[in-house]
Amino acid sequence: MAEWQSTISPAALGRLLGTARLPEPAGGHRPAYLLLARQLQLLLGEGRLAVGTRLPAERELAGALALSRTTIATAYQTLRTEGYLHSRRGAGSWTALPEGSHPPGNALFPLPPDERERLIDLGVASPPGPQALLARAAARAVELLPAYAGGHGHYPTGLPVLREVVAQRYTERGLPTTPDQLLITSGALSALGLVRSTLLRTGDRVAVETPSYAHVLQGLRAEGARLVAVPQQRESPEQLPRWDLAQWQRVLHGAAPRLAYVVPDFHNPTGALIGEDQRRTLLGAARAAGTLLLVDETMAELNWHTPDDRMPRPTAALDRAAQVITVGSAGKLAWGGLRVGWVRAAPALIRQLADERVHHDLATSVLDQLVCATMLGELLPELRALRLGQLRASAAALLPALRAQLPHWRFAEPAGGLTLWLDTAGLSGAALARAGERTGVRIAAGSRFGVDGAFEAFVRVPLTVPPAAAALTAERLAATAELAARDAAQTWGADQPTLAV
């Protein structure tokens, strides 16, 4: 049985190596083989090249990188000697870590409770639950529960009462919706996964914005999709990005992807809001290519920086041909612990999704759905006022603190949502994440949100930091930046054979 977990093509590895920038060594020059070995070592230590990845054969990689086979062979041998590569005749070579090392952590994985006192968690972009409103909604749910407890409790498309509430909210936002256009799921990620498993086959192309939501990118890869990256258009780090419609049209026409995944409402991670004109243009291009638009609206209600009267209509409101599949969630507005999301689509597709869904998780918790029906129904005005007020207060405290402590880092103020996208002035986001383990701050590296290791000089910071903790958060980030820069100079500038992981 093969010992590697995945493979990487020569072209993909070449793109990834192009993002692995090292400080100059003390002597001012590295031989080509040593530069390649150190770049691979860096990618492994930062988690951008997975441990257990089968590397291309020497001849294939030499051709892709325009290097001699001797250079590739010497680099591979250097890595074998230092413990970063294992090889077996006839089976190839795959990445490893030296004995005693451990892989870099994943800041997007929820932090264990016993770590929350030690670390400021900037990895997970989810707000705390509104306890008073949750208590009221839970009490109401308990009152209603007996009416449902006499049956099996399985509702593959969701409780009618919650579907009606969600349909009404879509209608209020400018998208007339009926309950038969909705399927309730166990969170937005379950909704996205259900769409993927129903509509995609291994090898199907999916166009994605870059950067984009890290969990969706990983889920698409796991589904066997071929990702086609479409970069955003941005004039400077201080300006929010837009869709590059010319590039989108080229990709949709040339690649004809099965799906295109976009986050037009307070994009994760950049916080951008896409206007109706751009939505309409992209929708037309997708229709011409026969591509379905998978629109992620999990942040759509978090317009803390954009007045209601300036909010675009949902993308599906511009759709006359059932080209748009919309995914939403109660997790960001209400509380992620409820695990309630939904899919809005044509009734025929909803029925198809429900048929597929019963083979996976069958249905969503009845009690959670009843809580959400109250939260998103009669308590919605109070919930929105509370959540948007919290986000305004967090942003008002955190953004000035970051500008004061990290004047060389640049960012655009989000239009809404939960995330801030910071340009680190060339510092490796993964190196910052590693240094943060020592300074007491948990950081989500930008490369998690890109394809093929892109956005390494960025980090994502959630706007869930309490105002009282904003100054300390910025101070720890500044200390982390200083430590990461010093580590990089010491480890890579001198070409030391060990890697701090």
pLDDT in tens, 176-226: 999 999 999 999 999 999 999 999 999 999 999 999 999 999 899 888 899
State which residues form the domain around 442: 113-125+382-493
CA-wise closest residue to 227 among 454, 474, 495: 454
What is the rounded CA–CA span in Å between residue 122 and residue 470? Answer: 11
Residue 416: DSSP 8-state: S
- Final residue before a domain boundary, out of 337, 363, 380: 380
498 in a structural domain: no
Q: Judge if 292 and 163 occupy the same domain.
A: yes
Q: Judge if 235 and 262 occupy the same domain.
A: yes
- Final residue before a domain boundary, out of 339, 357, 380: 380
Q: Judge if 232 and 338 occupy the same domain.
A: yes
How far is Cα of residue 178 from the mean position of the Cα atoms in its chain? 30
Q: Name the burial class of residue 143, with classes exposed (0-12), middle (13-18) and buried (19+) by CB atoms within 10 angstroms of its CB.
A: exposed
pLDDT at 1: 31
pLDDT at 104: 57
Q: Mind listing the pLDDT tens digit for each residue in 360-377?
A: 899 999 999 999 999 999
User: CA quadruple 463, 467, 471, 472: dihedral positive or negative?
Assistant: negative
Distance set, CA 483 to CA 3, 120, 333 (Å): 35, 17, 36
Q: Judge if 73 and 166 occupy the same domain.
A: no
CATH number for the domain harbouring residue 391: 3.90.1150.10
CATH number for the domain harbouring residue 198: 3.40.640.10
Confidence of residue 499 (pLDDT cuts 50, 70, 90): very low
How far is Cα of residue 438 from the mean position of the Cα atoms in its chain? 24
CATH number for the domain harbouring residue 17: 1.10.10.10
Q: Mind listing the pLDDT tens digit for each residue in 2-40?
A: 344 568 899 989 988 887 777 777 666 789 999 999 899
338 in a structural domain: yes
Confidence of residue 399 (pLDDT cuts 50, 70, 90): very high
What is the rounded CA–CA span in Å between residue 427 and residue 409? Answer: 10
CA dihedral 146, 383, 117, 266 (to 10 degrees): 120
Q: Judge if 376 and 285 occupy the same domain.
A: yes
Q: Mind listing the pLDDT tens digit for each residue in 59-86?
A: 999 999 999 999 999 999 999 999 999 9
Q: Judge if 38 and 64 occupy the same domain.
A: yes
Domain count, the chain: 3
What is the rounded CA–CA span in Å between residue 427 and residue 446? Answer: 11
103 in a structural domain: no
Strands of the 458-462 sheet, one edge to the other: 120-122, 441-445, 458-462, 419-423, 410-411
Q: Judge if 200 and 251 occupy the same domain.
A: yes
- What burial letters (b/e) apply to 64-92, b meaning 16+ CB within 10 Å? bbebeeebbebbbebbeeebbbbeeeeeb
CA-wise closest residue to 26 among 358, 356, 435, 495: 495
Q: Mind listing the pLDDT tens digit for each residue in 243-277?
A: 999 999 999 999 999 999 999 999 999 999 999 99
Q: Judge if 371 and 449 occupy the same domain.
A: no
pLDDT at 495: 55
What is the rounded CA–CA span in Å between residue 119 and residue 477? Answer: 12
Q: Mind listing the pLDDT tens digit for each residue in 267-309?
A: 999 999 999 999 999 999 999 999 999 999 999 999 999 999 9
Q: Mind listing the pLDDT tens digit for each residue in 458-492?
A: 999 999 999 999 999 999 999 999 999 988 777 66
Q: Judge if 274 and 210 occupy the same domain.
A: yes
Q: Judge if 121 and 188 occupy the same domain.
A: no
261 in a structural domain: yes
What's the half-sphere exposure (Cβ side, CA atoms, 13 Å) at 471?
1
Q: Which 3 state secondary structure label does DSSP give 455? A: coil
Q: Judge if 368 and 400 occupy the same domain.
A: no
152 in a structural domain: yes
Residue 186: DSSP 8-state: S
Q: Judge if 376 and 386 occupy the same domain.
A: no
Q: Which amino acid is at 14?
A: G
Q: Which 3 state secondary structure label does DSSP give 395? A: helix
94 within 8 A of 50, measured Cβ to Cβ: no
12 in a structural domain: yes
pLDDT at 255: 94
501 in a structural domain: no
100 in a structural domain: no
